[in-house]
Amino acid sequence: MQPNLVEYFNRQPRIATLSTADRDGKVDVAPMGSPRMVDETTVVMALAKNRTLANLQENPHAVYMIMVPGEGIFDWKGVRVYMRMRSCETSGEAIDAMRREISEAIGEAAAGMLHAAVTFEVEEVRPIVDMGQGWERSI
């Protein structure tokens, strides 16, 4: 049975990266641990004022890749979540709530670096290795 995508996305521990590109297609990838899937089509995350945020402001498309280690390389699990930025808030309740949560979990220094609360719409989900089976679906 296929696990619930929200549970899989929010599972810990995990290794995860967010890939973005600027308007010219120059790609960046960054490790990300804070994104949270709130329902089957919505992802929220807090971002610092960095290359990832700059890229998203030029090009709203991103891919969040989740990897869950297994005993051997063929036992690793994971998905690629293709998303489009829906909103980016630099003030207000959304970013304030994320700062409070990060402050409690990691500390005030980390919370102070947060600049934006970003909401994404999930467009497609694919397995890490696409062999024509598994998680693939379009939203």
Residues of the chain with pLDDT under 70: 1-3, 130-139
pLDDT at 2: 46
| Pure H helices in the chain | 5-10, 51-58, 93-105, 108-113
pLDDT at 132: 59
| Pure H helices in 76-128 | 93-105, 108-113
pLDDT at 34: 76
Which structural domains are found in the chain, ordered by start? 5-138 (2.30.110.10)
pLDDT at 123: 96
Per-residue pLDDT reduced to its tens digit, 21-46: 999 999 999 998 778 899 989 999 98
pLDDT at 52: 96
Q: How many CB atoms lie within 10 A of CB 10?
A: 14
